Amino acid sequence: MDIEFKTSKKPVNYKKALCFLRKRVEKVKKGGRELVWFLEHPTTYTAGIRYKEGEILDKSIKIIKTNRGGKITLHNPGQKIVYFVINLNKRKKDIRNLVRQIENIIINFLSIYKIKSYADEKNIGIWVKGKKIAAIGIKVTNWIAYHGCSINIKNNLKEYKKISPCGLNNINITSIKKERKNITDNVNKSLKNVFLKYLNRI
């Protein structure tokens, strides 16, 4: 499996990260290495292709429009972002399976912290007791899948109050810290191990 795991220790500007992703997509189209990238963003509100203006509750915030699936969401410090560029031409050309395996990765990662979570067919993402803990947004071009997922680890959940995240009531959001509080510093290592377990199923 020719795949690069990349970890950024400092928060990465959202637009710069997307630029890097798009360039990597072009490289992968030409046979380059796939990518899984662990990082965080400074506080950033982004809108997917299905967002509605009414989901912006605080009109003073800046929204960055993207070509990913989904609606409006928040990225901020303490939330783990996992971007990937996966070549489905060399794997299963099955987008539903890709989403299912990303869901499995997040669910198994959360189980490390004794958090029982689940996927919802109607509302994409991962949930804990009716509250969303992880978002998934994927774009596919020429069977190259990219963007990824975000998992709330210990981020400030109050910043969700400025939007209707993913079209939801903004109180229905949670994090590992809110659910368990016992967060280790091995988040990236744990995520990588779970990704390695499930990547061969994509």
Who contacts 43 (Cβ-Cβ below 8 Å, separation ≥6)? Answer: 74, 75, 76, 77, 159
Whether residue 111 is predicted with pLDDT greater than 80 in this model: the reply is yes
One-letter amino acid for residue 190 of the chain: S
Has this prediction a pTM greater than 0.85? yes
Give the number of other Cβ atoms within 10 Å of residue 154's Cβ. 16
8-58 pLDDT, tens digit per residue, is 999 999 999 999 999 999 999 999 999 999 999 999 998 888 888 888 889
Q: Is 166 a catalytic residue?
A: yes
57-91 pLDDT, tens digit per residue, is 899 999 998 877 678 889 999 999 999 999 999 99
**Structural class in CATH, domain 3-201:** alpha beta
- Please state, in angstroms and rounded to a whole number, the distance separating the CA atoms of residues 146 and 95: 11
Q: Where are the domains of the chain?
A: 3-201
Q: Which of 39, 86, 102, 166 is catalytic?
A: 166
